[in-house]
């Protein structure tokens, strides 16, 4: 069975508690559970990881080189700042889908640019936590 990595960046551990008017009421545990169910129905194994530390996310992307067929990533604020995460994703060979819960284009100008989008096969923004499920489905299609 192919494995996909679901990576979440800083502050996403507070999902459900942090600014629910922007990010909704679902927790990260809820998201991981529904993504695991969706992935398994599509014949994929899902491994989820969240960190508030850039280096820890980079280490997971390196690990994914040997362990994962594809990556779904919400890099949080690192989306807009991290050349290092982009470089790590460029060293990963499988498909990458970038997810943002909020519509970053409707928000502050500094959220309009994403380094990760230079690498991602697809970008989902503004679908709420449903965006993660759409990303898992898309990965399944790309990996079929
Ligand atoms: C986010 C959008 C980012 O701009 C923000 O820093 C986040 C979450 C989203 O999911 O909408 O932490 O990636």
Question: What residues are paired with 96 via a beta bridge?
Answer: 71
Residue 140 pLDDT? 98
Average pLDDT over residues 14-39: 96
Average pLDDT over residues 89-103: 98
Question: What residues are paired with 125 via a beta bridge?
Answer: 100
- 104 within ligand 1 shell (Cβ under 6 A): yes
Average pLDDT over residues 26-35: 98
Q: How far does residue 1's CA lie from ligand 1's centre (Å)?
A: 31
- 61 within ligand 1 shell (Cβ under 6 A): no
Residue 124 pLDDT? 98
Q: Domain 2-143 sits in which CATH superfamily?
A: Dehydroquinase, class II (3.40.50.9100)
Q: Which residues contact 103 (CB under 8 A, 6 or more apart)?
A: 125, 126
- 95 within ligand 1 shell (Cβ under 6 A): no
Percent of the chain with pLDDT over 90: 99
Could you identify the atom of ligand 1 that is nearest to the CA of residue 107? 4
Residue 85 pLDDT? 98
- pLDDT tier, 129 (very low <50, low <70, confident <90, very high otherwise): very high
Residue 7 pLDDT? 99
Average pLDDT over residues 51-65: 98
**Is the CB of residue 143 less than 8 Å from the CB of residue 95?**
yes
Residue 5 pLDDT? 99
| Catalytic position from the list 23, 53, 62, 105 | 23
25 tagged catalytic: no
53 tagged catalytic: no
Q: Which one, of 86, 98, 6, lies nearest residue 54 by Cα?
A: 86
Give residue for tokens 């982009």: 86
Residue 46 pLDDT? 98
Residue 112 pLDDT? 98
Average pLDDT over residues 102-119: 98
Average pLDDT over residues 28-41: 98
- pLDDT tier, 100 (very low <50, low <70, confident <90, very high otherwise): very high
Residue 111 pLDDT? 98
Q: Whose CA is nearest to atom 8 of ligand 1?
A: 76
Per-domain boundaries in the chain: 2-143
């Amino acid at each position: 069975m192919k494995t996909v990595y679901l990576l979440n960046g800083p502050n996403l551990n507070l999902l459900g508690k942090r600014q629910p008017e922007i990010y909704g009421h679902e927790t990260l545990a809820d998201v991981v559970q529904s993504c695991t169910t969706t992935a398994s129905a599509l014949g994929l194994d899902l491994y989820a990881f969240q960190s508030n530390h850039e280096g820890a996310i980079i280490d997971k992307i390196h690990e994914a080189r040997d362990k994962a067929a594809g990556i779904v990533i919400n890099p949080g604020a690192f989306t807009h700042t991290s050349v290092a995460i982009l470089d790590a994703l460029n060293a990963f060979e499988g498909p990458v889908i970038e997810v943002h819960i909020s519509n970053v284009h409707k928000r502050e100008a500094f959220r309009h640019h994403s380094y990760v989008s230079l690498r991602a096969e697809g970008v989902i923004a503004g679908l709420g936590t449903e965006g993660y499920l759409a990303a898992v489905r898309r990965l399944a299609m790309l990996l079929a």
